[in-house]
C-alpha cells in the first residue's frame, strides 16, 4: 500500500531517535527514515564502533498531515514535528531520495577507517576543521596520518589523529548543523 502524505522533519527526545523510529514504523500510513552513521571513536578502553543518528535528535517521517499529525506527535520518543509558527515545512521527495541513496537501504553508512596515501580527506575536528588535505603517510602504530594541505597560501604537512579526519565522500554527524533550536 502506498503511503499518502509528505515528508516532515521530526524532533526526537535526546538520544531517542531509534525509539521514535521504531514506534513510528508500527503506525499504519507512516513511513520513517532515520539515517545513521557508524564510525570508530576512541574510548578509555581503546577504539570502539559507535552508531549515531546522522542528524542528532532528528528523523524524517512521511504521513498524511491532516489525519495523522496528533498520532505522530504522540508517538514514544517523538518531541514534535518541526514547524515555524503556523508553517509546517515539508521535505522534498528528491531530498529524501538523495539521503537514502547516500546511506543505503539499511539506513546506515559506515565510515571507513582505511586510508591510503593520495586519499583526499577533510579535517573534522580541531582548529583546522573543514579544511581539505591529501594523505601522504599512514602511521598505524600511532593511529595518526600525515596530510598535505594548503594553509595560509602554502602547502604544509601536518600529522593528525586518524579519527579526526573524514575520507572524501563520507559524512559524519558532527559535520552537520542541526536546525535552529527556536523552531518548535
CA of residue 48 relative to chain centroid, distance = 18
Q: What is the pLDDT of residues 45-60, one digit of tens each?
A: 877 788 889 899 999 9
CATH topology classification for 120-167: SH3 type barrels. (2.30.30)
Q: What is the pLDDT of residues 13-56, one digit of tens each?
A: 999 999 999 999 999 999 999 999 887 776 788 777 888 898 99
Q: What CATH code is assigned to 6-110?
A: 3.30.70.940
- Other CB atoms within 10 Å distance of the CB of residue 149: 18
Please report the pLDDT score of residue 179 as a whole number.
38
Please report the pLDDT score of residue 141 as a whole number.
67
Domain boundaries, the chain: 6-110, 120-167
Please report the pLDDT score of residue 178 as a whole number.
36
Please report the pLDDT score of residue 127 as a whole number.
77
Please report the pLDDT score of residue 79 as a whole number.
96
Amino acid at each position: 500500500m502506498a503511503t499518502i502524505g509528505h515528508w516532515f522533519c521530526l524532533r526526537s527526545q535526546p538520544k531517542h531517535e531509534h525509539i521514535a523510529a521504531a514506534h513510528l514504523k508500527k503506525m499504519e500510513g507512516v513511513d520513517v527514515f532515520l539515517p545513521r552513521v557508524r564510525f570508530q571513536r576512541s574510548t578509555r578502553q581503546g577504539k570502539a564502533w559507535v552508531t549515531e543518528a546522522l542528524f542528532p535528535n532528528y528523523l524524517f517521517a512521511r504521513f498524511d498531515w491532516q489525519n495523522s499529525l496528533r498520532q505522530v506527535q504522540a508517538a514514544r520518543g517523538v518531541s514534535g514535528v518541526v514547524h515555524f509558527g503556523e508553517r509546517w515545512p515539508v521535505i522534498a521527495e528528491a531530498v529524501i531520495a538523495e539521503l537514502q541513496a547516500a546511506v543505503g537501504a539499511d539506513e546506515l553508512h559506515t565510515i571507513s577507517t582505511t586510508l591510503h596515501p593520495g586519499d583526499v580527506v577533510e579535517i573534522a575536528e580541531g582548529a583546522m576543521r573543514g579544511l581539505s588535505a591529501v594523505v601522504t603517510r599512514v602511521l598505524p602504530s600511532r593511529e595518526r596520518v600525515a596530510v598535505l594541505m594548503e594553509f595560509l597560501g602554502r602547502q604544509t604537512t601536518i600529522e593528525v589523529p586518524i579519527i579526526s579526519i573524514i575520507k572524501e565522500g563520507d559524512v559524519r554527524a558532527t559535520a552537520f548543523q542541526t536546525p535552529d533550536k527556536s523552531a518548535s
